[in-house]
Amino acid sequence: MPDIDWPATVQPVLGESADEIAGQLADAVAGQLEQALATRERASLALSGGSTPKPFFEKLRDKPLDWSRVDVTLADERWVPLESSDSNERLLREHFLQGGAVEARFIGMKQEHESANAGQPLAEQALSALAWPLDVLVLGMGNDGHTASLFPDAPEIDRALDPSQPDRCMALHPASQPQARLSLTRRALENAGWVALHLKGEDKMDTLRAAMDDMKSVREMPIRLFLGLGLNLFWSP
């Protein structure tokens, strides 16, 4: 297991296998949603895409929750057709919005517009149906330190990280990515009640170490914002 002097803002859960960690994360998220539903009519959950979360989605979807009272959205979306294998909405529909969680109310980000910029106002309007702030947020991270679609090489990154800008979602065009993205912004993400960072692999642990070694520049590694605010890390080799 990695021997790290964790900052007080990071609660690490380190496992031996991806399956073990996916199960522990599913238990934790279900517990947080149950707590939210004990005090309010609806709970809100934002999930990230990518390759890491599939086993987590498949374990979470059958947790015994009143899923009809849970609003689910994405932390970000690639601006591709919903049938594309790159679509995060497709990923959720195939691996999470099944079983018990089929009853959840899903609010997607992709809109019927050619560009993410043109679709952003409709996505912003769709997201306003959620009860903000988010109760539960599950983030991933790339080896460039991006999270959601807050990419350091996106021209829009400063605006997306600006706590005073009013939008909850924003179109970003990272030079490193083949597609435009729509991402929840700092404003939408930073006030979530409970945040998990779900990582798999030694490479991601190395990136996390680099992010924690010098927490100064959030713009350089946007994950630093959430490491500083506080999160629950779920990592396996």
Ligand X SMILES: O=C(O)[C@H](O)[C@@H](O)[C@H](O)[C@H](O)COP(=O)(O)O
Binding-site string for ligand X from residue 194 to residue 223, where x marks contact by CB under 6 A and - marks none: ------------------------------
Structure tokens at 57: 């989605």
Cβ neighbours around 176 below 10 Å, total = 11
Those residues with Cβ within 8 angstroms of residue 71's Cβ, 6 or more apart along the chain or in another chain: 42, 43, 44, 45, 104, 105, 107, 129, 130, 131
Nearer to ligand X, 20 or 66 (CB): 20
* In the complex, minimum distance from the CB of residue 83 to ligand X, in angstroms, rounded to a whole number: 17
Nearer to ligand X, 41 or 170 (CB): 170
Q: By CB under 6 A, name the one of 88, 111, 232, 236 that touches ligand X.
A: 88
* In the complex, minimum distance from the CB of residue 172 to ligand X, in angstroms, rounded to a whole number: 11
236: contact with ligand X by CB under 6 A: no
Nearer to ligand X, 34 or 94 (CB): 94
Q: What residues are paired with 12 via a beta bridge?
A: 233
Q: Which stretch binds ligand X (CB under 6 A): 65-73, 110-118, 137-145, 156-164?
A: 137-145
Cα angle for residues 67, 70, 71 (degrees, 5° grid) = 135
- Give yes or no for a contact between 183 and 148, defined as CB atoms under 8 angstroms apart: yes
49: contact with ligand X by CB under 6 A: yes
Nearer to ligand X, 88 or 232 (CB): 88
55: contact with ligand X by CB under 6 A: no
51: contact with ligand X by CB under 6 A: yes
> Residue count at the site for ligand X (CB under 6 A)?
14
Phi/psi at 157 (nearest 5 deg)? Answer: -60, -40
* In the complex, minimum distance from the CB of residue 236 to ligand X, in angstroms, rounded to a whole number: 12
For residue 214, the Cα-to-chain-centroid distance in whole angstroms is: 23
* Backbone dihedral region for residue 135 (phi beyond 0: left; psi -120 to 50: alpha; all else: beta): alpha
Between CA 115 and CA 41 the distance in angstroms is 35
Q: By CB under 6 A, name the one of 52, 87, 185, 236 that touches ligand X.
A: 52
Q: By CB under 6 A, name the one of 50, 100, 133, 228 that touches ligand X.
A: 50
Between CA 140 and CA 149 the distance in angstroms is 10
Cβ neighbours around 89 below 10 Å, total = 21
147: contact with ligand X by CB under 6 A: yes
137: contact with ligand X by CB under 6 A: no
Contact footprint for ligand X (CB under 6 A): 48-52, 75-76, 88, 140-142, 146-148
